[in-house]
Structure 1
Amino acid sequence: MWFFLLHFAAIAQNQIPMISVSGEAQGTTYHIKYFDKQNRNFKTQTDSILNDFDKSLSLYREDSEISEFNRSHAIRFRSPYFYPVLKKSKEAFEKTNGAFDPTIMPLVEAYGFGPKKTKNAQFQNIDSLLKLVGFGQIEFDSVMVQKAQENVRLDFNGIAQGYSVDLISRFLEQQNIDRYMVEIGGEIVCRGKKNDDKFWVNGIENPLKPGTLYSTVQLSDRAMTTAGNYRNHFEKDGQVFNHLINPKTGSMEQTALLSVTVFAKDAITADAYDTAFFVMGVEETKRFIKKEKDLDVYLIFTGTDGKLNDFASDGIKDFVKKVN
């Protein structure tokens, strides 16, 4: 996921100073900007929160909570992070009719993705692996989680990063910070406005020209996450497609949808649905979003003429501006 934060800044002497904190986490970078009369720097606390989060939900750590569960039949939670992500996953799984499904891990590995990437994907066992996919095989309460059968495994990469943004946002609010922007790997939460009552302005990358902007979005008091497999597209009969794994069929499918940006009250929600909407496609996503008053979406896709098209739902269209 890629983002551009457009910061237009000269801060007058009589205004509250804006603090900038940045670093690395989760195999990517983070950028945090906030207004604080006390001029406090929260980098140490941010790094500590993100490190604790990785100990719980990172698939790249053998000692993480999720890695332990993937090797086991059941575990008791040892962190405050696992249970909320399971709750949101269940909600998104049910509302999208399985388009979002974090039990997709066996398929992800079979196609050569995931922490243990393989160069030669093995497709012959997809039907048998599909029996391991389905969030209904996960049972949990506020204390523990268990699986219905051995080898069912979880992959929270489609939702966890958004939740980590929410955690940092929550920490800032606990410090009485009410104007801020938190971004981790392109997942963003903005609260309040900048000095002079200006919106936070974020950019959405052109999926066919990585490193360049396709549009900008004005944001305040909302989360924004973007999913896009920009570097894995291909052309067929003049139209550009993406590859995606459909958790309901187990198949690697083609989609003309190249970029999905979701706007929600928090980043964990936006992150879950941007993953689901890729599977659902343009038209089904449009129908879905009409029924969800708390969600908005911005889609970039190719038409049959091979040209990029976009769609912004009603709640966000006045805040989106195409570049050139």
Structure 2
Amino acid sequence: MKGKRMMLCLLGGMMLCSGCAARREQAQQMLQQQKEEDRYDSMTLAMDTVINTTIYDERGEELLLEVEQEIQRLEGLFSVTKADSDISKLNANAGKEETALSEETYALLKTSKEISTETGGSFDITISPVVKLWGFTEEEHHVPSQTEIDQAMALVDEDQLLMEENNTAYLEEEGMAVDLGAIAKGYASDVVADLLRQEGVESALISLGGNLACIGTKPDGSLWEAALANPLDETDYVGLFQVSDCFLITSGGYQRYFEQDGKRYHHIIDPDTGYPAESGLLSVTILSEDGTKADALSTALFVMGLDRALDFWRNSDDFEAVLITEDGRVIATEGAAAVFSFEGRDNDFTYETVNR
């Protein structure tokens, strides 16, 4: 197979020199067909979401297995529902004793605390008792009473998650708990992308629910295209990204929710109130080279609301964003606007670009 690919590349180069457009196009099509033959796809369930992976590499079948095993390994560390995970053990020991953690879990907890501080608490992994109270942890939804919310909110405080020496951590109050659901998939995207790059993969796409990791470009050298979903219509999209080597991660109230007495309640809980965030936003998409941070920021900026989110972006230099508001605006930061197209979209949204 390698010899055949080399011959096609050489043949294509010869045709470029000849100046024959028709034969040059034919050679390019032959090369693209050969690359497509090295396409491998998989779909699996892990981390409470559907994971789709596409790899263009002659070792694709073997690499898909490595990707799946790596994601399952990370789920085994970070799951809030698996009894033997690092996070479940930490939560079970709350108010009792320190918990020895893997180096990865410890590092991700530290990163989570740093992002919590950076975002002024809009991202807080100790919100777990409140998320569970609303029924989102085990998908047993109900609207809790204010008394129940107040009691659960008393256990939300990232300052009481203590990071001790030798990869140990401690939750100070019994009943406290952490949930890495708003950052773990982004971290998994980072890990898997690094794994594939180290294996020499130059073209791959991994989708973990609302998290998209783009490795390199398409096999023909063109950019990956990713549609940004319309939060009001699951069959529609509001625009297309054209990107390479980056992470695109979206959070929105339309992704997980339930309805009770005619009102919709989504899964993104505001750490300040204990209720689903009412920020005026329908979704936030983060574009970054850091999948871990992008995942956390998509949640944090959704909680912040438009004005605070844009102020936060203006004081940062490591991400871009597209925010969709409840009043029908699609607002792209200048870096995102450079790779985001909405031409030809027929909808009721208005499109804006904001600058620093």
Quote the sequence identity (%): 27
Distance 1:244 1:165, change over 3 A: closer
d(CA) in 1 for partners of 2:75 and 2:213? 20
Aligned to 2:238: 214
Could you tell me which of 193, 196, 202 is aligned with 1:169? 193
Aligned to 2:334: 314
Per-residue deviation, 1:135: 0.9
SS at the partner of 2:232? coil
> 2:290 matched to 1:270?
no
Distance 1:316 1:10, change over 3 A: farther
Could you tell me which of 183, 190, 195 is aligned with 2:219? 195
> 2:156 matched to 1:136?
no
Aligned to 2:352: none
Deviations 1:163-197 (A, max 9, x none): 11112112112212133222111211112211332
RMSD: 2.5
2:203 touches 2:219 (CA, 8 Å); kept in 1?
A: no
When the two structures are superposed, what TM-score results if normalisation uses the length of structure 2? Answer: 0.79
SS at the partner of 2:122? coil
* Runs of at least 5 residues in structure 2 that lack an aligned partner in the other structure: 1-28, 347-356
d(CA) in 2 for partners of 1:227 and 1:39? 30
Per-residue deviation, 1:242: 6.6
d(CA) in 1 for partners of 2:139 and 2:218? 42
Per-residue deviation, 1:21: 3.1
Distance 1:117 1:241, change over 3 A: closer
1:19 touches 1:41 (CA, 8 Å); kept in 2?
A: no
Aligned to 1:96: 119
Letter in 2 for 1:202: A
Per-residue deviation, 1:38: 4.7
d(CA) in 2 for partners of 1:203 and 1:254? 25
* Runs of at least 5 residues in structure 1 that lack an aligned partner in the other structure: 1-8, 235-239
SS at the partner of 1:196? coil
1:110 touches 1:123 (CA, 8 Å); kept in 2?
A: no
Deviations 1:102-122 (A, max 9, x none): 000111122332226243523
Distance 1:133 1:241, change over 3 A: closer
d(CA) in 2 for partners of 1:27 and 1:132? 24
Could you tell me which of 80, 85, 93 is aligned with 1:72? 93
Distance 1:202 1:97, change over 3 A: same
Aligned to 2:349: none
Deviations 1:262-282 (A, max 9, x none): 111121110000110111001
d(CA) in 2 for partners of 1:226 and 1:123? 30
Could you tell me which of 41, 58, 68 is aligned with 1:20? 41
More divergent stretch after superposition (260-269 vs 245-254): 245-254
Deviations 1:116-155 (A, max 9, x none): 6243523313233222112111111551111122211101
Per-residue deviation, 1:233: 9.0
2:55 touches 2:64 (CA, 8 Å); kept in 1?
A: no
When the two structures are superposed, what TM-score results if normalisation uses the length of structure 1? Answer: 0.86
1:241 touches 1:257 (CA, 8 Å); kept in 2?
A: no
> 2:283 matched to 1:259?
yes
More divergent stretch after superposition (106-115 vs 220-229): 106-115
1:226 touches 1:274 (CA, 8 Å); kept in 2?
A: yes
More divergent stretch after superposition (83-92 vs 251-260): 251-260
Per-residue deviation, 1:39: 5.1
Q: Higher relative contact order by CA 8 Å / sep ≥ 6: 1 or 2?
A: 1
Per-residue deviation, 1:159: 0.7
d(CA) in 1 for partners of 2:234 and 2:33? 38
d(CA) in 2 for partners of 1:39 and 1:250? 44
Letter in 2 for 1:314: E
More divergent stretch after superposition (34-43 vs 149-158): 34-43
More helix by share: 2
